[in-house]
Structure 1
Amino acid sequence: MSKELDFVQTCLSIHPSQLVENIASDSHETRRIPDPYIFLVKDKKLVTPNGAVIEKSIRNDSNLDSMELKAFIKIQDWAESCDEGTSLWFSPPFPGKYDKGKVVASQILYGLDGKKILFNRNIVLDVNTKTILLVANNMSEKMGLDLITDPELLRQTPIFSEHNQLEILLDEISAYTDQNQMVEKGTDIDSKIETYSKLLIIEKMSGFVYSNTSDSQYLYAHQIAEEQGLIGKYIGSCGQSGKLSAFKAFSEGGRQEKWDYHSGVCRVCGNSTEVGPCSICRTCEKKF
């Protein structure tokens, strides 16, 4: 647990900006490295290290949004009311929205100053809905909880335990990914800290070029990160502008997107069209 606590102190000391946090999250997802990040539990809300209230960035415009919001509120209330434990939020694939499964494992920790922290790991799983259900139900069975056969019920039903269930989760996903080994060795945390360090430099560089236009700065910073090998071969979750679904807001470090689309070539479909900062068009971005 010492690495996790060291990571907490790093985040609290550097207060990564939203630009740094967004690109760092994209970096880990596109390289299939578990993405560690923290929230503070403050005034009964989950808050990013730089003070953004997660709930304010969440939209509620569809049935899917509503299901995810229910799960988010459950986790937020749990983090506020409990002193320790683990939360597991499984997100099965969803047609036209998520083509990958994910699980976010969250643990209640405390900083050196006694502040309550929610330490999270976002793990992308390249598996189908059936496998996500299998992993979740194997966890539930071992924890003595009811099994869930409906993927949409699972989406809105985080699993809570007063104990640390991370080791059991890693064992369950080991058949489908090697990301469990990264968590066990702590290399995901090492990578995130190294990524932060590189992105802090990139942020300064991009700020000199685009000091008054945050959208352009994000585009430029993301381009530099890609040139430096921080963006991997997999498609990440660089989403739409404006408010996000509850799961995206929660699972990506409180990502808060705000940019203008620009002319370019979509790196998913290859069409020349308007693309966002991850070089993904409006049509293709709905898949992630």
Structure 2
Amino acid sequence: MRLEAYTVGFDPRNYHAPIPDNYSQEEILERRKANIRENIIRYLGEYRLGVKYDEFHYNFEQDAESGDFFLSSPHADPGPILNIYRKAISYKEERGLPIDREVAECLGFQKLQEGLADAQEGTLILWVSPPGPKADGYGDHSFTFIGQVVKDPEGEKRLRIIPYRNVLSLEEHKEYLKYFNKDAQFFNKDTHFLANPVIIEQSEAIQTPDDIISFIGETERFNIEWRNKLTPLIMPLIGGFIQLVREKASNGELNRTRNAIENYVISIRPHLLNQETTERNNINIEQTDVIFDKFGREAPPIAYGSCGSSATTLMEFHENSEKNWEYSHGDCVVCGEKNTMVGPCKICKSCEKTFDKQDSLQLKSA
């Protein structure tokens, strides 16, 4: 069972991983520090503040050799985000844990990436991520990822994504999703939603992510003021945590530091959510040790994970799914077959068909 939504052991492992070829150590380590900062802030917003909205972006890129389109993150190591999904499958498989959810996420993200390859500015996406089984440590809330292709200040396309946190049931998700994907009426488990993102062309009624949020029935408007208030207040604390990661501190030290950050944020939650008017000054370097000592002594309440490795499911479900991505020789991360033809998620054709067949039969019987 996954007891904690944020596991500190991943941070030093990722930070000290080998530097990719053709990149400087300085550039990669700066990316990895930024990734830790973003992960902590996003985690605090979701699990300690309980906010409904956040925002992040993916870049549109092309492989220099093959010319293939892929989505990348400005805070992760260079390369396709799809690599993160592959690693999530391998990580759980190596530990003998169920991988159905991770496979669905990976295939769903691949569909999303393929569908956005030639997308025009304004194109929208919708991807529903219900919680997994409670037996695996998941909580009660879902994420509905709503995105739109936009232009950055340099005129380059990128994907703006709003994670909308909610407690909608599977039936409630189906009610709005079937407007964009008729097959959603048959979805009855988390993997059905994860494997099937939707790409939406703008219409008179649906022009922006706000329009989709309203269509779902949410009355609270998009707002990330919490992030603007939280970030400057805790940057020195996050900096202290990152320094421990750089020094390869023990998990015990990392956990105490994480506890302090979480407990401190819980203590100022009313301020961050505009429930009190008291002004708070940013923390200076001298105060960080005091906060780490005062707030790091006890663990905060357990935060259960409600989302898988990602972000992030958006295209019509095809009962007889004909994948249009390319295959190459490799080892299947699901069945372990060596030197076989695998797709971008490192899953062989046989395992892809098995996954599709299982979901297809379940949808037919619904």
TM-score in terms of structure 1 length = 0.64
Equivalent residue number for residue 241 of structure 2:
206
User: Which secondary structure state, in structure 2, belongs to the residue aligned with residue 181 of structure 1?
Assistant: coil
Provide closer, same or farther for how the CA distance between residues 51 and 100 of structure 1 changes in structure 2, counting only shifts above 3 A: closer
**Count of matched residue pairs:** 219
- Residues 245-260 of structure 1: matches in 2 within 5 Å? 245=308, 248-251=309-312
Moved more, 17-26 or 230-239: 230-239
Deviation at 1:114, TM superposition (A): 2.2
Q: Is 1:45–2:59 an aligned residue pair?
A: no
Q: Residue type matched to 1:157 in 2? A: N
Provide the residue aligned with 1:32 in structure 2.
50
Aligned residue for 1:57? 84
CA positional deviation for 1:118: 1.2
The runs of 5 or more residues in structure 2 that have no matched partner are 1-29, 63-68, 94-98, 270-300, 313-366
CA contact (8 A) 1:26 1:238 kept: no
Q: Please, which of 99, 113, 138 is the counterpart of residue 76 of structure 1? A: 113
C-alpha RMSD of matched pairs (Å):
3.1
* Structure 1 contact 23–222 (Cα < 8 Å) conserved: no
Q: Percent identity?
A: 14
Which sits farther off after the overlay, 164-173 or 125-134? Answer: 164-173
> Structure 1 or 2: larger strand share?
1
User: What is the alpha-carbon distance in structure 2 between the residues aligned to residue 102 and residue 40 of structure 1?
Assistant: 21
Deviations 1:32-62 (A, max 9, x none): 3212111212222222213424222213342
> Match of 1:17, SS?
helix
- In structure 2, what is the Cα distance between the partners aligned to 1:131 and 1:224? 37
Read off the aligned partner of 1:223 and give its amino acid letter.
N
Which of 146, 159, 177 in structure 2 is aligned with 1:136? 177
Question: Contact 1:26 / 1:237 at 8 angstroms: preserved in 2?
Answer: no
Aligned AA (2:248): T
For the pair 1:90 / 2:136, whether they are aligned, the reply is no
Deviating beyond 6 angstroms after TM superposition, the runs of 4 or more aligned structure 1 residues are: 231-234
Counterpart contact for 2:148–2:208, Cα < 8 Å: no
How far apart are 1:236 and its partner, in Å?
5.6
Answer whether contact 1:90 1:104 (CA < 8 A) is retained. Answer: yes
CA deviations 1:126-182 (Å, max 9, x no partner) are: 132222222322x427xxx5543223433311111122352332224445xxxx524
Compared with structure 1, are the counterparts of its residues 72 and 171 closer, same or farther at alpha carbon in structure 2 (3 Å cutoff)? Answer: same
Task: Tell me if structure 1 keeps the 8 A contact 2:132–2:306.
Answer: no
Helix, strand or coil: the match of 2:153? Answer: coil
Task: Name the counterpart of 1:262.
Answer: none
Contact 2:244/2:254 (<8 A) preserved: no
Q: 1:149 aligns with which of 174, 186, 193?
A: 186
Residue of structure 1 equivalent to 2:148: 107
Which residue in the other structure is 2:258 paired with?
222
Paired amino acid for 2:61? K
The 8 Å contact of residues 19 and 218 in structure 1, kept in 2 or not, is answered as: no
* CA shift for structure 1 position 65: 2.1
Whole-angstrom distance in 2 between the partners of 1:29 and 1:223: 16
What residue in structure 1 maps to residue 65 of structure 2? none
Shift of 1:212: 0.8
Question: 1:48·1:54 contact (CA, 8 Å) conserved in 2?
Answer: yes
Following TM superposition, by how much is the alpha carbon of 1:115 offset from its aligned partner in structure 2, in angstroms?
2.6
Pick one of 20, 30, 34 that aligns with 2:37.
Answer: 20
The answer on whether the counterparts of 2:142 and 2:306 sit within 8 Å (CA) in structure 1 is no
Deviation at 1:207, TM superposition (A): 4.1
Would the alpha carbon gap of residues 201 and 140 (structure 1) be closer, same or farther in structure 2, given more than 3 Å must change? same
Alignment of 1:264-275 (within 5 A): none
On the 8 A contact 1:29/1:236 being kept in 2, the answer is no
Letter in 1 for 2:102: D
Higher relative contact order (CA 8 A, sep 6+): 1
Q: Distance in 1 between matches of 2:254 and 2:145?
A: 26
| 1:103 CA displacement | 0.7
Task: Tell me, in whole angstroms, the C-alpha distance in 2 between the residues paired with 1:29 and 1:23.
Answer: 10
Instruction: Tell me by how many angstroms 1:209 deviates.
Output: 5.3
Aligned counterparts of 1:215 and 1:132: Cα–Cα separation in 2:
42
Specify whether residues 154 and 165 from structure 1 end up closer, same or farther in structure 2 by C-alpha distance, changes over 3 A only.
Answer: farther
Please report the TM-score for the alignment, with normalisation by the length of structure 2. Answer: 0.52
- Where does the alignment leave 5 or more consecutive residues of structure 1 unmatched? 1-13, 240-244, 252-288
